[in-house]
Structure formats: C-alpha cells, structure tokens
C-alpha cells in the first residue's frame, strides 16, 4: 500500500531517477559530484583533485554523462564538466517526495 501511495505521488518522468541513481551508485562518482558541486571543472583539474588516472576518471564521467547526471563542454583541447541542473532537480524532487511520505503511518490491517 505505501508503495502505491509513493508511486501516485511521483510523475512518470521519474523513471529516469533510477538511471540517475544507478549512475551515482559508486563512491567515486559521489566524489565527482561533490567536486562538481562547487562548479564547472576541467578533466585535468578533476584528476588532480581526486587523485585518479585520467582513463579511470573518463570512464566514470562517461557513465555519468550518458545517464544525464553531467553536462560536458569542450573548449580547445580541454573538456569541462558540470552537474546537469535538471538531473539535480529530478533527484531533489524524488527525494523530497520520498521524505514527505516516509513519516506516514501504515494503514491499520483488519
């Protein structure tokens, strides 16, 4: 029953939330999100900040970009990444809805 209540409180576009959550389901990707929360950064800066090899970082950035978590911008030889605002809004909406429903009491069983 609570699942149906939750499902009815979420719009159909939130099937994308599962894709976003899957893309974030790695501690390294959470570190990337935290680094990008401060604003747009180039790959070279992220490799230095996170202490990662560029190939490893590029793999994770690609997964996140394909899921719609990140937006990439090329400038000369550099690639800059930033969080995709719409993805952040979708996750925030989903989590806010989940939080508001999580405090509800279960219906009485008869």
pLDDT, position 4: 47
Say if residues 60 and 33 touch (Cβ distance below 8 Å). no
Radius of gyration of the chain (CA): 17
pLDDT mean values, one per 10 residues, the chain (110 residues) = 51 77 97 97 97 97 97 96 95 87 72
pLDDT, position 10: 55
pLDDT, position 7: 55
pLDDT, position 108: 73
Q: Indicate the pTM of the whole model.
A: 0.79
pLDDT, position 5: 53
pLDDT, position 16: 86
Detail the DSSP E strand segments found in the chain.
41-42, 70-75, 78-83
In CATH, which of 2.40.30.170, 3.40.50.620, 3.90.1150.10, 1.10.10.10 is domain 11-101?
1.10.10.10
């Amino acid at each position: 029953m609570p699942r149906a209540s939750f499902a009815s409180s979420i719009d159909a576009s939130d099937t994308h939330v599962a894709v976003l959550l899957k893309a974030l389901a790695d501690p390294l990707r959470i570190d990337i999100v935290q680094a990008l929360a401060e604003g747009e950064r180039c790959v070279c800066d992220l490799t230095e900040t996170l202490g990662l090899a560029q190939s490893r970082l590029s793999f994770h950035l690609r997964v996140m970009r394909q899921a719609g978590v990140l937006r990439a911008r090329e400038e000369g030889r550099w690639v800059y990444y930033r969080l995709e605002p719409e993805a952040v809004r979708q996750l925030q909406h989903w989590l806010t809805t989940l939080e508001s429903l999580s405090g509800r009491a279960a219906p009485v069983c008869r």
